[in-house]
Structure formats: C-alpha cells, structure tokens
Amino acid sequence: MNNSYECIEVSIDGKLGCITLNRTKVLNAINRQMVSEILSAMEGFEENEHIRVIVLSGNGRAFAAGADIDEMATDEAIDFEVRNQFKDWDRLAMIKKPIIGAVQGYALGGGFELALCCDLLFAADDAEFGFPEVNLGVMPGAGGTQRLTKLVGKTKAMEWLFTGRRISAREALHFGIINRLVSKEVLMEETLKFAAEIANQAPLSIRLIKESVLKAVDVSLDVGMHFERKNFYLLFSTEDQKEGMRAFQEKRKPNFKGK
Ligand code: DAK
C-alpha cells in the first residue's frame, strides 16, 4: 500500500479499506492532488483481493467543503480541458467494490458530489449537504446536477441547486440521500459495523448487484431486466453460488471466497 499520501489517510481494517480525507485546515477542500490520491487508494483497494468494502470519511469539522476554491479561482475554461481533470472523477465512478461514505459536518459542492459517488451513506446529525456553486457564479461539474436529480427528482434538485441552500441530515434522510442518520459520536463505529456486514456477503453477488442497480438508474426497464438476467446467470458460474446453496442445504454458514 502507498503510505505517502499527503491529503488523505489510508488504512486497512480486516476486509475494509478505509480512506479518510485529511486537509482539516481547509475543511478537507478537494484539490487535484486529493482527487488523484483518493483514486489511487481506491484502485489499490480494488486490486486487493482481501478488501471487500471501501469506507470513505473525513477528518475534522467536515467531510469536504467542496473543491479547493483557491486552486481553481484563476482557472480558465481551457485549463480544465487541457488537464482533462474530470477523468479521475470518471474513474472513481468505475470502482466495482461497494463504497460506503461516512459524512460528518459539511459535504458541499465537490464534497457532496464525492458523497454521491458512494453507494451507501451514513451521516452524523451535524451533517449538512448542499451545492453552493451558484453563489460562486458556477455550477456543479462532477455529476452534482445529474446524480442529485436522479436520486431525488427534479423538484427538490432544482430548488437546492438554484438556492445553494444546505440540506440537513434529517432532510437528507427524508429524501433518501442517506441510508442512516446517527449521532456524531458513533458515526464511524456504526459505519464500520455495517461495512463489515456487507464485507461478509458473497463478494461477486455484491459486485454484480452494484453494477445492476447503477444500470437501473440509466436505462429502460427492458434493458435493465436483460442486464440483470445476464448477471444472474453469471453468478451460477461461481464457486460461491455452489458454496452458498450447499451451506443452506447443510444448515451451516457459507464460507464465501469471491470466486
Ligand atoms: N476551498 C478552499 N478553502 C476552503 C473551502 C473551499 N471549498 N472551504 C473552506 N475553506 C477554508 C476557508 O477558506 C478557511 O481557511 P482560512 O481562512 O482559515 O485560511 C477554512 O477552510 C475554514 O473555513 P471557514 O473559516 O470559512 O469556516 P466556517 O465554519 O466559518 O464556514 C463553510 C464553513 C463550509 C460554510 C465555508 O468555509 C464555506 O462556505 N466554504 C466554501 C463552500 C463552497 O462554496 N464549496 C463549493 C466550492 S465549488 C471539478 C470538480 C468539482 C468541482 C469543481 C471542479 N473538476 C473535476 C474540474 C466542484 C466545485 C465546488 O465544490
């Protein structure tokens, strides 16, 4: 594992690969280096067969208060094109292992977009989500208008994006943005406990379920059903399917290997 990261902390806890955003002086503002480090850590976990679930959190007062405004304040449009800066974000969305986010404090702008790249979200009672880009004369560019709208529908997405207003953890729970709302003191404990539960499920089932659910967001029911069926067939070519069904018949716990 690469331990030379500057903007994040990375650790392994059993079957969990943990990434913690760590630029606390600027509320974990996401600069280019941080995105590249998150991607490198995630791709490392993706290749590590012992890691089953990735957990993403932030140190200090925030999950992340957005992209680093100081870094992009003087950027010109062509700079984004030349740097092809969105490619790292695109690669984050291609991670196949489940990602669980633990959000405390601010998840704003790019921080909210990063949270929306997670498959499941746990949030502390002090969490605040939002897209304040409109106050800066810009708009979300790393999937915010798309992922939020697909998640909550046009009505609330438009309101939150037009106003930049913050969404409380309670509202986020109400609108299905987060899975669980817990007190700040137990946020990591509860997230890790849940992640460990997912980590003990059959890894290939989890992988193909993730792929199928993400597909459902984008395609017609007919196309989605076809996609689901192919993944369903595929799992019958795995050792874990044999093991899972044999364990049921033998009335014991299955021992899944991800094969
Ligand atoms: N960038 C840089 N520094 C930030 C920051 C940010 N997004 N957010 C906070 N900080 C810094 C503050 O400047 C301050 O630094 P010092 O003054 O101490 O040096 C320190 O963090 C503590 O912040 P505050 O003193 O402001 O703390 P408060 O509790 O008073 O306020 C706040 C917290 C979160 C309400 C406030 O800091 C705030 O409004 N922050 C900015 C929030 C924001 O507008 N975020 C959206 C940024 S735009 C892209 C991908 C994505 C994006 C762009 C491009 N590509 C792939 C190309 C996304 C764009 C955005 O996210």
- The whole domain housing 234 covers 203-249
Ligand 1 centroid distance, CA of 238 (Å) = 46
pLDDT at 2 over 90: no
pLDDT of 188 > 90? The answer is yes
111 and 219 share a domain? no
Domain check: are 177 and 122 in the same one? yes
Residues 33 and 118 both lie in one domain:
yes
Phi and psi for 88 in degrees, rounded to 5?
-65, -40
**Does 117 share its domain with 215?**
no
Q: Does residue 3 form part of some domain? A: no
Residues 224 and 164 placed together within one structural domain of the fold: no
- Report whether residue 27 contacts ligand 1, using a CB cutoff of 6 Å: yes
Do 38 and 150 belong to one domain? yes
> If you search the block for the tokens 């291609």, which residue do you land on?
94
Residue identifier of the C-alpha nearest atom 56 of ligand 1: 86
Residues 170 and 226 placed together within one structural domain of the fold: no
Q: What is the pLDDT of residue 210?
A: 98
Q: What is the pLDDT of residue 1?
A: 59
Reference 34, options 78, 79, 64; nearest CA is 64
**65 and 178 share one domain:** yes
Q: What is the rounded average pLDDT of the residues 149-174?
A: 98
What whole-number distance in Å separates Cα of residue 36 and Cα of residue 143? 17
Q: Are residues 136 and 75 in the same domain?
A: yes
Atom of ligand 1 nearest to the CA of 35: 56
Among the listed residues 115, 124, 133, 143, the single catalytic one is 133
67 is catalytic: yes
pLDDT beyond 90 at 52: yes
Instruction: Say yes or no: 192 and 217 in one domain.
Output: no
